[in-house]
Amino acid sequence: MTFWDASSPETTLPETTLREMTWQDIPALTALEPVLFADDAWSERIWWAELAGRPRRSYVVAEHSGTVVGYAGVDCGGEVADVMTIAVAPAAQGQGLGAVLMHWLIAQARRAGAEHLMLEVRADNAVAQRLYSTTGFAKLSVRRKYYQPGDVDALIMRMHLWDMTEDPAEDAAEEVSR
């Protein structure tokens, strides 16, 4: 099963597909986590708990030639959805896969009816911050010394998923009258 649609950003990594994450992916995820997140890596136990959080939580993996090269997850619990994780393996970085995964997260949150999508990012992760900003996230606040060890701040970012200045019912009425 793939999650691509016509409006998805493209990746330069050929033959990469997105599919729903399963418990069978946990060994690959726990192998990637310490490489990508060091002290903040999720354990096998955390992954089991995250997958048990369905249907409120949704997770996807990106596969290239049968290997997990990225993954993302979102918690949709009402008007505010939260990015739980997004990651791209080192060999697949810089090829647009992060944007593809972010697009999937945004689409999931919208499908769930969320008005906002929130995330936190390390203040020292400029690459991730650039992806989030170009996707439409804005800095909301800072959690001082949130990531330990190292006393690294967390930036809290939010994206408005719907333009709340427009009334969808009014727009539909205008379309009918044309």
Residues annotated catalytic, as ranges: 120, 132
Residues 6+ apart with CB under 8 A from 70: 61, 62, 86, 87, 88, 89, 92, 97, 98, 101
User: Residue 42 in contact with residue 87, Cβ under 8 Å?
Assistant: no
Tell me the residue ranges of DSSP E strands in 11-115: 16-20, 57-64, 67-76, 80-88
Rounded to 5 degrees, what are φ and ψ at 63? -120, 140
User: Residue 145 in contact with residue 155, Cβ under 8 Å?
Assistant: no
Q: Residue 80's CB: how many other CB atoms inside 10 A?
A: 15
Q: Residue 2's CB: how many other CB atoms inside 10 A?
A: 12
Q: Quote the distance between the C-alpha of residue 135 and its chain's center.
A: 11
